[in-house]
Amino acid sequence: MRSITERHLSEASTQELVDAAAAIAAELAQRPAPESPAACMRLAETLAAASDAHESALAGFIARVDIAGETRRWGLPSTQAWLRSRLGMRDSRAKERLTLARQLHRLPTVTALLAAGELSYGYASTVADAVVRLDDEDSARAETLLLDMVGQGFSAGKVAAFGRRIRDVIAERDGHETAPEDAQRGYERSWVTSTRSLDGGRYIRGWLNPEDAAIWDGTLGPLAKPGGPDDHRDLAERTAAALSSVLSGGHRATKVTVICDLETLTGGHAPARLTDGTPIPAPQARRIAMSAGVSPLLLGNGHAPLYLGHRVRFATAAQRQVLETLYPTCAVQGCEVPGTLCEVDHVNGWALGNSPTDIDKLALCCGWHNRYKHTHPQQIHTTQDPATGHYTYQLLPPPDTPAASPRTTDPPAILNWAA
């Protein structure tokens, strides 16, 4: 029976296998867990191994999409954005899977072991993360070292810790008589060295122990995130900018917009909200108003020129402030770029002469999608909420994409083969 099933599986197409795996997973999810805890342990271990095999296949799919840049044809600025918006992954999980997909071609042993079910996804992703900044030669050495640790029974956390200092480990393994100068300092106390360059700049190098590293991550981590799809700085450049902001005190000069009714400020109970939709209790909104300046937003003719027609192309600061209250994120459905980092977009296109610079003809759109909307208008479907005036841009598939097969309640053919 097993040989027949295997023969049929080998004859199935990749699409049929994926459909079968999806159907089995959907059915399994509806089954209640057995009463026996021991049976549940065995089933969990078997299912986890199967999930690792699925992760191996998924990494191959992601790698092919990433190399081809396919996501851009679908209106998505990056592979990571696709994993977040279309596959529903958290940002940390999307980064982990993308890193594995990008490094598998440099990790032949890890690739083979993961596909064969002899290495877990956790170990594979840990090794992949450790070799990201290594050249090909050191990557091969690191793979051997870290897999040796896996074979000795070290936990994934311990392997990850060694991976973070893998260059020193490689140097020790290769028999360097003198450890690098940085390594001689040890890893107990933090240290930083700074050398001035001829042009007045500075070279900075150092090490932070776990306690100081936690402070570093907690302070600079949120400030070092990408500013949107058009932020092409790497992590090192964003971290330097975040450090400069902290040293200059700029990170404390944060502008917060609280949206509330006049009645709320004068004693009403209706809650206020932030631009991302977070509710603020009325008493707290009044306390904020007492300790900060209050700027009214006039949604119409008045002190702020919100309707400019075709005379002016660029939106005013007042118009942008209004738009930031309407758009917590980019108007493109699924795009997570904050509205405060987006560009003001003429809904019907300024160049076409169809969209005046009026508040009800504008939306916020990230830089990448703003350009994509201009160059691929046939792949953008625009809708407007009549109650709020909020525009939503929905990305459509490329015109040459085959229509998706309709869902059916019948099991995939591969399931019938294996029956």
Provide the pLDDT for residue 114: 93
Q: Which three-class secondary structure state does DSSP give residue 194?
A: strand
Among 243-252, 265-274, 371-380, name the one with the lowest average pLDDT.
243-252
Among 20-34, 68-82, 266-280, name the one with the lowest average pLDDT.
266-280
Helix (H) or strand (E) holding 415: helix 413-418
Which structure tokens are listed for 378? 């046939």
How far is the C-alpha of 6 from the C-alpha of 418, rounded, in Å?
Answer: 8
Max mean pLDDT range (86-100, 160-174, 337-351): 86-100
Q: Which residue has the higher pLDDT, 103 or 412?
A: 103
Q: How sure is the predictor about 305, in pLDDT bands with cuts at 50, 70 and 90?
A: very low
Provide the pLDDT for residue 55: 94
How far is the C-alpha of 57 from the C-alpha of 62, rounded, in Å?
Answer: 9
Give pLDDT tens digits for 43-78. Answer: 999 999 999 999 999 999 999 999 998 998 898 888
- Look at residue 302 and tell me whether its pLDDT is greater than 60: no
Among 15-29, 133-147, 404-418, name the one with the lowest average pLDDT.
404-418
Provide the pLDDT for residue 152: 92
How far is the C-alpha of 417 from the C-alpha of 22, rounded, in Å?
Answer: 16
* DSSP letter, residue 309: T
Average pLDDT over residues 189-205: 76
Q: Are 349 and 356 in contact (CB under 8 A)?
A: no
CA separation (Å) from 289 to 200, 221, 271, 296, 317? 44, 29, 13, 12, 21
Compute CA 385 distance to the chain's CA centroid, rounded to the nearest angstrom. Answer: 28
